[in-house]
Structure 1
Amino acid sequence: MTEWSYTVRVWGIRKRPYRKPYQLRWQVGIRPHSESFLTSGLAESRRAELITAARAGEAFDVETGMPKSKVRKQKDISFYQHARNYVDLKWDHAPAKTRTGYADTMATVAAVLVKDTKGMPDARLARRALYSWAFNKNRWDTEPPEDIKQALAWFAKKSLPMSALAEAATVRKALNACAKRLDGKTSAASVIHRKRAVFHQALAFAVEAELLNENPLPALQWKPPERIEEELDPECVPNPELAESLLASVADQGARGRHLKAFFGCIYYGAARPGEIVGLSRTDLKLPRRGWGMMRLHESRPRAGRPWTDSGEAHDRKGLKHRPRSAVRWVPIPPELVALLRWHITVHGCAPDGRVFRTTRGGIVQESGYGEVWRRAREATLSPDELKTKLAKRPYDLRHAAVSTWLSSGVEPQLVAHRAGQSVAVLFRFYAKFLKGGDDEANAKISARLAQRKRPS
């Protein structure tokens, strides 16, 4: 860590019989420093520089004897290099999905923080080079294709220095880029907030590395769009009758559909996230012949892609969302899901490693596969007008259907949050409209109480 001092003494220049005869001496704190020059003019120029910095109240580096502004200028690196340093810092302890988020943000910002655009690669090549190579640490030891190599060399040469980010206009340019998609349209609010958060962390790291005096982001007058996901849109959520019809339609989609019916059932009846189900093992289930069973959720396997995981597999292995790696969530499952799972295991068996759900080759169930089955089931179940809406658009909407059904059934929100693997705060914010679903009942109770006051005594 650099040691700074404001105690500076600068002495006069003395001449000695050496190759560089003019010597300047000064002291920072208790440490003496000296520098020799060929001419008296050069020595006087350095002396004036030190005196000016000292009179301006600038801190001096005890080690080098130089004022802070000069030390920072000597340390200054390009944003491109700083972004790679930031990715390197975060990589080893980040899940694969988070790594893609870092790369996405750094690629977005690095593409606009350049000195000029002369000779700049086209947008698609630039994006591929930055996202897939410059900010993917797993590929740093791999020789890239020639066009990628040239693109990376261009960004390394043209990237703005970190000192430029002390200017509000430069930071604003980066934030504006975070708010746009590659096609120029405005990004979703959740994407903008995520990119801004990562960019903020990168700038905080620059302060820690003494590349910036302070993080310029908090003081900047730039307001991103309001969050659009504060409340769940009820139009997306199928009611219990429709949800069961969709599950029946899934089974009608051939062998793959029959294999996935219980998979979708876990999302609907157990409010599990798809990533929590793909690795579900037979030992994670308690399936009695009658009554309710239990489902043990202890890990998530989101798909990030082979280039981003340490294992080289497409799916990463991590703990439950926003929970410690060792956290476990036991979810009671109704007889309907117990029967589905018992039937599934009897008919299809399990993978050699115990996984309940697998592809025909024994691999992890993919979004592309179950997404296609869900699309066809939706087309077979909904009316033409309903197909144009957001109703049950994604398999994930079955999870929303489960949580909303529990809430509308009168289950305590604290228990719903526990079973769904959410905090109570998130539950109240995200499912606010469903918590208001008991208004009619509440109004009737209030009316009955008010009516009591009108009765004659």
Structure 2
Amino acid sequence: MNNGERFDEASGLPLPELRKLNDVSWYQHARDYIEMKWPAAPAKTRTGLAEAMASATPALVSTRRGMPDARQLRRGLYSWAFNLKRWTEDPHADVQRTLEWVERNTVPMSALDDPLLLRKVLTAFAARLDGKTVAASVFRPKRAIFHNALEFAVEARRLDVNPLPQVQWSLPKPVEQVDSGSVVNPRQARQLLDAVGEQGDRGKHLRAFFGCLLYHAGLRPDEAVWLRRENCELPLEGWGALHLDGSRPGVGSSWTDSGAAHDQRGLKWRPEKEVRHVPIPPVLVTMLREHLETYGTAPDGRLFRTARGGLVQESGYGEVWARARMAAFGPAPQPHRPGARPYDLRHACVSMWLNSGVAPVEAARRGSHGGRAAEGLREVSGRRHSHGERPDR
């Protein structure tokens, strides 16, 4: 009382003493946090939670004596310790040894009052396994998840306050800058789609799939995977539309409740039942009509499928895309060939919309961008028009 300390009403103990009695290790707290978040989290979010906890934990140890190497730690933490579905399984012997070491050597939660220790966590978030600096888009979600885990610690009375806001931190600028040449232009887009069609039967089947990503509609790959005939408005002439109502992100069977490799999700950044309407030009209308005439649909109406009728896998369309890029651009160094990832094709589509005079708000709506990305579109558009650039319609 003389020290002005608060008392716990249930036990009658001073809060500092109660926290000391209830102090748990960071490892135990991180698992409690995963268990709390897991039931309501989509499969993709679960992988993000596990990634953040697996990145933070090696920085929150009291000693490095006997510490497993970085890749062993990541495998044990990401695939087992922070994947609730694996908790009922017996891990391999090497994974078991890794987790036992972590359990013995992570610091208590009371130690996280130290700002220098929190700096180690942020430094870990900012570094890749090869030592290079991560992109801001990778760092920010990890920091946000770690912040939320500390808020949970306050709620569980394991910390007085969340100490993370006290740490002044800015992500170092990466050494490598984004190459503007990585965004494909219209000529390169035609080259790539033609090259996709030349990659055997699977390439011919996936040509319209990449057309939905590249320039014409700006779909995410997991949205194109779930594109069905009922989503497509394909008139004989003129413009059509896609009415998107869901996606099937591939995350692996160990992260989904159903045990399937793809999770069943609504549209990103949208309410679960909302439909996104995207106008598509005649060239894509024709491409999709020809695809339907040639291949029909799967029993559930999907336009794109594997040889056995299953959902298109990232490994499958990624392999076709890699071969098409090589065929279109030759053996140039990888960083200098545009369109490194199928997902990057959305950037080309958004650039085309903006250069054609589409308002940034409308471009963000069509592409279903989140708040930060939408603000970025406004800034890009403002810079373009302030420099007097004439939109190419």
Cα distance between partner residues in 1 of 2:75 and 2:332 = 39
Q: Which residue of 1 aligns with 2:147?
A: 200
Cα distance between partner residues in 1 of 2:184 and 2:302 = 28
2:193 to 247, 265, 287: 247
Cα distance between partner residues in 1 of 2:71 and 2:305 = 35
Q: Which residue of 2 aligns with 1:367?
A: 314
CA contact (8 A) 2:133 2:172 kept: no
Structure 2 gap ranges (5+): none
Equivalent residue of 1:296, what SS? strand
Q: Where do 1:87-236 residues align within 5 Å? A: 87-225=34-172, 234-236=180-182
Equivalent residue of 1:365, what SS? coil
For residues 112 and 424 of structure 1, do their structure 2 counterparts lie closer, same or farther at Cα, with a shift above 3 Å needed?
closer
Q: Which residue of 1 aligns with 2:341?
A: 394
Is the deviation greater in 205-214 or in 382-391? 382-391
Name the amino acid aligned to 1:353. Answer: D
1:279 to 223, 226, 240: 226
Tell me the matched-pair count: 389
Runs of 4+ in 1 over 6 A off after TM superposition: none
CA contact (8 A) 2:27 2:106 kept: yes
For residues 96 and 431 of structure 1, do their structure 2 counterparts lie closer, same or farther at Cα, with a shift above 3 Å needed?
same
Query: Normalising to structure 1: TM-score of the pair?
Result: 0.79
Q: Which residue of 2 aligns with 1:39?
A: none
CA contact (8 A) 1:300 1:319 kept: yes
Report how far residue 100 of structure 1 moved. Answer: 0.8
Cα distance between partner residues in 2 of 1:213 and 1:375 = 51
CA contact (8 A) 1:87 1:102 kept: yes
Equivalent residue of 1:396, what SS? helix
Is the deviation greater in 193-202 or in 73-82? 193-202
Report how far residue 425 of structure 1 moved. Answer: 6.3
Q: Which residue of 2 aligns with 1:347?
A: 294
Q: Where do 1:61-76 residues align within 5 Å? A: 61-76=8-23
CA-to-aligned-CA distance 1:147-174 (integer Å, 9 cap, x gap): 2223222222222110010112221222
Is the deviation greater in 393-402 or in 158-167? 393-402
Cα distance between partner residues in 1 of 2:46 and 2:355 = 38
Bigger-Rg structure (1/2): 1
Identity %: 51
1:325 to 257, 265, 272: 272
CA contact (8 A) 1:189 1:228 kept: no
Name the amino acid aligned to 1:133. Answer: W
1:257 to 203, 207, 222: 203
Q: Which residue of 2 aligns with 1:303?
A: 250
For residues 354 and 109 of structure 1, do their structure 2 counterparts lie closer, same or farther at Cα, with a shift above 3 Å needed?
same
CA-to-aligned-CA distance 1:205-248 (integer Å, 9 cap, x gap): 1111111111111111332235999x986322222222122111
Structure 1 gap ranges (5+): 1-53, 444-457
Cα distance between partner residues in 2 of 1:237 and 1:434 = 17
Equivalent residue of 2:262, what SS? coil
Name the amino acid aligned to 2:192. Answer: L
Is the deviation greater in 388-397 or in 252-261? 388-397
Cα distance between partner residues in 2 of 1:243 and 1:263 = 13
Q: Which residue of 2 aligns with 1:267?
A: 213
Q: Which residue of 2 aligns with 1:77?
A: 24
Cα distance between partner residues in 1 of 2:82 and 2:47 = 9
Name the amino acid aligned to 2:181. Answer: E
For residues 121 and 228 of structure 1, do their structure 2 counterparts lie closer, same or farther at Cα, with a shift above 3 Å needed?
closer
Cα distance between partner residues in 2 of 1:292 and 1:124 = 50
Query: Normalising to structure 2: TM-score of the pair?
Result: 0.92
